[in-house]
Amino acid sequence: MTAVTSLIPGLDEIVRHGDPQRRTEAARAIAELFFQDAARLKSDHVDLIDSLLIDLVPHAELAARVELAERMSLIANAPRALVGQLARDNEITIAGPLLRRSSVIDEQGLIEIAGIKGQGHLLAMSERPTLSTGLTDVLVRRGDRDVVRRAAGNSGAHFSQSGYSALIQRAGQDGVLTLKIGQRDDLSSERLKELLAGSIDVVRRRLFEVVKPARQAAIKQAMVEISGAPEQVENRRDFMPAQRTVLALHRDGYLNEGALLGFAKSHRYEESVAALSALSGVKIAMLDRLISGDRQDPILIVGKTIGLEWATVRALLLLRLGPNRIPAAADIEAARANFARLMPSTAERVVNFWKSR
């Protein structure tokens, strides 16, 4: 450690009066000595380096701090105070690597950071190999959609009973989150029933398709308990009668937006998809898969391509949810704004891609 201690006499001067470049060079030199011998250093030596870097690093250039944080995130005996300082930095490129994987930050430190920092910090924490119930409680309470989805999809995450309840409640408005929760190995039968009870039909069918066989059986059983009758989530829809209806309308000259709007308002899913297929040229199977997926964008895109009015697009969005589901007004308004902003040329390129598949 002689090389390190030799830097101490000039350290105060560098910290007080050194320009960013001198501070960066000093911090980099001390850190490099640590990285060279990290595996062999005793705790008191690490503490010494910690005390040196804790004053230098905040004044170093951004690129140097980013590099230092990335390398420190991989070291099991990294200087604890320095790691805590970097992990609390407002710059996510600095804090992120440490929050994602550093083993030096203890649970209390993570919970403290999660309680005060922004969504970028929360998202980084949600990617850690393991997440305690105390930490996921904060992530579910404070996190935005991306944070909660990432935590729910993390197999190393653990959720408290209250955390799971909040997670499932949020899933009622988020089909992607429902799919992530539904595939968790620690999901109990009772929690699965809660999840399905708050989900729409298209999400239930999609979940049935992606889970393991054992979970498929559990979904069937849960639907029996919820509705009193088996839910045929695995059955494919029969579009043949709907196709005949739509072809007859086309032959008679009545296949237009008004007919499509009537199908959608009557919650006639098969006829609506068949009419959209005939009007847009996208195959029925492709439209069915897109519309019953996790996003509502396909309806907006097809609607824009064939020149539908917002009232018809809105009716199709409601059709997708099912007859007993009422969307939040904010969600409908967001969809309307997205539909208005969508350029016809952009929508046409996407539809042409669908046609080619």
Measured distance CA(100)–CA(254) in Å, rounded: 58
Encoding tokens for residue 78? 């990294």
Paired strand residues for 131: 157
Written as one letter, the residue type at 276 is L
Average pLDDT, the chain: 87
Q: Is 79 left (phi over 0), alpha (psi -120 to 50) or beta?
A: beta
The better pLDDT of the pair 200, 123 is held by 123
Residue 163's pLDDT is: 94
Encoding tokens for residue 122? 């929360």
Q: What's the chain's Rg over C-alpha atoms? A: 28
Give the confidence band of 190 by pLDDT, cuts at 50, 70, 90: very high
Q: Which helix (H) or strand (E) holds 23?
A: helix 20-37
Given a cut of 60, whether residue 344 has pLDDT beyond it is: yes
Our measurement of the distance from residue 58's CA atom to the centroid of its chain's CA atoms, rounded to an integer in Å, reads 32
Q: Residues of the chain with pLDDT > 70: what percent?
A: 90
Residue 169's pLDDT is: 92
Buried b / exposed e across 142-160, counting CB within 10 Å, b at 16+? Answer: bbeeebbbbbbbbeebebe
Measured distance CA(123)–CA(114) in Å, rounded: 10
Residue 160's pLDDT is: 95
Residue 202's pLDDT is: 79
Q: Residues of the chain with pLDDT > 90: what percent?
A: 47
Could you tell me which residues come within 8 angstroms of residue 292 by beta carbon, excluding any fewer than 6 positions away? 202, 205, 206, 320
Contact 278, 250 (CB under 8 A): yes
128-165: pLDDT as tens digits: 999 999 999 999 999 999 999 999 999 999 999 999 99
225-258: pLDDT as tens digits: 887 655 555 556 788 998 999 899 888 899 999 9
294-317: pLDDT as tens digits: 678 899 999 999 999 999 999 998
Residue 95's pLDDT is: 97
162-180: pLDDT as tens digits: 999 999 999 988 889 999 9
Residue 124's pLDDT is: 97
DSSP letter at 40 equals G
Using CA of residue 224, residue 227, residue 230, residue 234, what is the dihedral sign?
A: negative
Residue listed under structure tokens 């996407």: 350
Measured distance CA(263)–CA(252) in Å, rounded: 17
Measured distance CA(35)–CA(261) in Å, rounded: 67
271-293: pLDDT as tens digits: 999 999 999 999 988 888 888 77
Domain boundaries, the chain: 1-103, 106-235, 240-356
The better pLDDT of the pair 212, 102 is held by 102
pTM for this predicted structure: 0.65
Burial class for 221, CB neighbours closer than 10 Å (0-12, 13-18, 19+): middle
Paired strand residues for 341: none
